[in-house]
Amino acid sequence: MRFSIQDWFRAAFVMFGVGWGANQFSPMAGVYERDTNLSGAAFAALFGVYAAGLIPALLITGAVADRRGRRWVTIRTAVLSIVATIVLICGPGEVAVMGSARFLAGIASGAAFVAGSAWVKELSAGAAEGAGARRAAIALSAGFGAGPLVSGAVAQWLPLATSAPYFPHLVLMLPAVLLVRRCPDPASTRLGPRTPLPEMVRTRGFLVGVLPWAPWVFGAATTSFVTAAKLASAHAGGLPIAFSGAVAGLTLLTGVLIQPLARRLDSRGAQWPPVVGLLLAGGGFVVTAVLAETAGARYQVALILPAAVLLGAAYGILLVAGLLAVQRLAEPDELASAVAVFYTLIYLGFAAPYLLEVLSGGVDWAPWLIVEAVVTSVTAAVVVVNARVTTARSAPVRHDEVVAAPLSRSVSIDE
């Protein structure tokens, strides 16, 4: 019997692999500090270099993917992801070399996530409503979670700690590139948008219904595997590298497992996934604040579990909510560009741990974590109010009907 791989899975597998490559670097700070004397500040700066490649790629390649097709972009960025990992292996401790590698990884990530998300959605035509968004979100989240989980374990227990953690990514990406080469591309026959930004960004559904909460997608996740993991690492049993990778893996894989719930919430009303996601994020910030206030206590490390689960669940639900909203709001020939705008916004959340570090002075964490919890709760209230306003505007004259409030492209901010 011939084994057949579904087309959407081929595209999603590339997203998984590129996501793995993007985040495999996260638990390696201790390795580089120990083996190459790379400072913590330099390591943190390399995340900024990654963002410097990522953000322009998100903004540029959305329009390119809408014009040239998803496959054209995805194959080239998958190869670029491989090159980035090879460069990273070749220059441990060399800031210029590692910076080049992280910049290339940022470009590859931005391009692959934008083109891949649109491609998976298009290849999921005929599946249940929302399947494309859910599949893309799962692929991205699983790659982000598995990458640091594996690289952290390899770096902790195997030799060649500055290079061996990256070998699994190379092994993974070779079949990914081969699988996607003959994958059909429904968008390749269409002309892309003529405007720099998709029409979606001018709708009320986006400006009020998505924009205010989008940065909390990664704001929640990074607070877990950067801030909370750092605060609890003193009781990590002498395994700080593996611990950091495990927290990242738990956070992001929780985000994978929770995504079916996001789809069920969406069926009750498009406002409910972001509302629930924001409230979960607020709960996670409160738990992290308690964790920060129990420094030195033996039970402190136990708090990492609820913090990671709550923040990971928030990440997963908000990611699916955003992709579903974008698919509703965007025209078909602007889908990749619209996804690019959303990803650009959610990646702003990567700044959350560093803003916390600056505001807290590295000492007084709890008050600022509580501020985050308050902000997410207020944002959830804004989403609910916007949904009610949208419902009132679209409701028929009869007042005895209850109409669900979709995030619709028909509601313009100019109304």
CA–CA separation, 163 vs 154, rounded Å?
10
Which of the listed CATH numbers 1.10.260.40, 1.20.1250.20, 1.20.58.340, 3.40.50.2300 matches domain 8-184?
A: 1.20.1250.20
Q: What single-letter amino acid sits at 93?
A: G
Which of the listed CATH numbers 3.40.50.10420, 3.40.50.720, 1.20.1250.20, 1.20.1340.10 matches domain 197-393+403-415?
A: 1.20.1250.20
- 370 by Cβ neighbours in 10 Å (0-12 / 13-18 / 19+) ranks as middle
pTM, to two decimals: 0.79
User: By the 8 A CB rule, do 57 and 109 touch?
Assistant: yes
CA–CA separation, 52 vs 70, rounded Å?
23
Q: Compute CA distances 251 → 33, 81, 284, 305, 346, whole Å.
A: 24, 23, 11, 9, 16
In this structure, what token pair is assigned to residue 351? 């700044």
* CA-angle at 156, arms to 150 and 159, nearest 5°: 100
| Domain boundaries along the sequence of the chain | 8-184, 197-393+403-415
CA–CA separation, 345 vs 274, rounded Å?
15
Shared fold status for 8-184 and 197-393+403-415: yes
User: How confident is the prediction along the chain (415 residues), in pLDDT tens digits per residue?
Assistant: 344 578 999 999 999 999 999 999 988 888 888 888 888 778 877 877 888 898 889 888 888 888 888 899 999 999 999 999 999 999 898 899 999 999 999 999 999 988 998 899 889 887 887 788 889 888 988 998 899 999 999 999 999 999 999 999 999 999 999 999 888 887 665 545 455 678 888 888 899 889 999 999 999 998 998 889 888 887 777 788 888 888 988 998 899 899 889 888 988 888 999 999 999 999 999 999 999 998 777 778 889 999 999 999 999 999 999 989 998 898 887 888 888 899 889 988 888 888 888 888 878 899 999 999 999 999 999 999 988 877 666 555 444 443 333 333 334 444 3
179: left (phi over 0), alpha (psi -120 to 50) or beta: alpha
Q: What single-letter amino acid sits at 173?
A: M
The pairs formed by 260-263 with CB atoms below 8 angstroms and a separation of 24 or more are 260/134, 261/317, 262/134, 262/316, 262/317, 262/320, 262/321, 262/324, 263/130, 263/134, 263/320, 263/324
Residue showing tokens 């996607």: 180
